[in-house]
Amino acid sequence: MSRSARIAGVALAGGLLMATAIAIAVDERKPAAPLPSPTDLAPYDPLRDELARCRTLTMPDSGCDAAWEEHRRRFLGREDDRP
């Protein structure tokens, strides 16, 4: 292979690499939509609203005690639900 053929091959490879880099940098596709948060996907749960209210209280509240107990029951499961 002659010297000029090698130079032409290297120049062609360099040109292809440059064209690829430009094509990647100037990508005109629209950005993907952001993924929804888990709270957007979850069905409405009034317990979540009650717990949010209870987090702001500084005094004992029987409704909050019941809400937290329900939350613990859901999270940990009932004794009779275990195998």
Q: Taking the domains of the chain in order of start, what are their residue ranges? A: 3-29+37-81
User: CB within 8 A of 26, min separation 6: which ones?
Assistant: none
Query: Residue 56: its pLDDT value, please?
Result: 93
DSSP code at position 26:
T
pLDDT in tens, 35-66: 888 777 878 889 999 999 999 998 999 999 99
In this structure, the number of other CB atoms found within 10 A of the CB of residue 71 comes to 15
* Amino acid at the residue 67: A
Please name the residue ranges forming H helices in 1-83.
Answer: 3-25, 38-41, 46-55, 62-76
Query: Residue 17: its pLDDT value, please?
Result: 92
For the question of whether the overall pTM of this predicted structure is more than 0.75, the answer is no
Q: What are phi and psi of 29, to 5 degrees?
A: -70, 150
Query: Residue 28: its pLDDT value, please?
Result: 75
Instruction: State mean pLDDT over 26-40.
Output: 79
